[in-house]
Structure 1
Amino acid sequence: MFEDGATPELRNIILFLENVRSLKLLGSLPRLMELELNGSNKPVLLPLLKESAKRIAEVILRSTMLNQVDLQVLAKKPNLQCLELLDSSYNESKLTFKKEEFLKLTLLTVDCPAINKITFTDGAVPKMEKITWTLSRIESLSGIKNLPKLNRLQLFGDMSPIRMRLVYTHGFTQEQQKQAKRGAEEDQEKDDVRFQLSCFTSKNWCISPSSP
């Protein structure tokens, strides 16, 4: 418990919640901006996220086993700019960002094995600038055209370099696609196990393995 007026300059907290029964008064920490939470303990975790200070700008989740409904408690945070979903932080395959949610979010990092689909609906995360996604399998990444501020997309994975590059060049010109394919073939010749794709986005993208 943080008593009212205690540690008024505290800006960052890392908490391990597995054996915690209660934790209150984060709202009394006026300068708290960064919150990292570890462990699956929803009776403590969800109220904690709900009451956390309005100034919270960054949230990192690890092994929290949340679902789409649980994330609603973060969706309305007025100043949340950075969200990191790591390890087993999320337990559903599809992650959806809906209209008028995460209005200040600029950076999304996903490194969670359960997630293989990400969707951005029209009007969602209007200030998103950068997405970093580490994945072993992808079903779809759609709604990129709905992110007017997005300028950087980074993907890390174990998929074939050729397949990865071709999937994520939807909307490129024919010459750009040829260059991407040549680069992928060079990567494959180097026997790279992991493949990183870092590119600028196009508003016309709707990305999935079935893309041409």
Structure 2
Amino acid sequence: MTQTLLHIDSSARGTGSTSRQLSDRIVTQLAPAQVIRRDLADPLPQITEPWIGANFTPAADRDAAQRDLLALSDTLVDELRAADTIVIGTPIYNFTIPASLKAWIDLVCRVGLTFEYTPEGPRGLLAGKRVILAVASGGTQVGSEIDFATGYLRHVLGFIGLDEVQIIAADRLVQDMDAALVAANAQIDALAA
């Protein structure tokens, strides 16, 4: 049973967003005990040179300004750590993910916190969590050669240890919206908590 669920939405659309509707249905279907909500329509900052400098300064050596620069990133990492299940609603914009979701990824992929380097290569530190992607696209078929969103998300999430990723897609909505929504909703109905 899902105890704590992190629910992330990245569509720029507040209303009328298919990915938001799908992610909401997934959360309802899973009925977690606690939901942590992160709406990326509220823009996150881009990483900057001072942020990178703070990130690569050992924690014990950071000054107050550097700690302030990393505070949001620390919160986002804490949200990931607290969650048993992560639901990410994302549209496909121009064949890939929205910039808001990329900003979130940049803020949570942190050496020593969500991954580490070993003699065998990088190792994710967030293993044992379930991820469900609620993906919507107007014309891009999920899994096709022009879908640069879902392959990237699987890769980067796996990089931080989140390798149990399930995709629920309502794709090619402009071709047959009704069929795409029926298929996605059937997958949601079949989800086990």
TM-score, normalised with respect to structure 2: 0.33
Rg comparison, structure with higher value: 1
TM-score, normalised with respect to structure 1: 0.31
Q: Select the structure with the greater relative contact order (CA < 8 A; seq sep ≥ 6).
A: 2
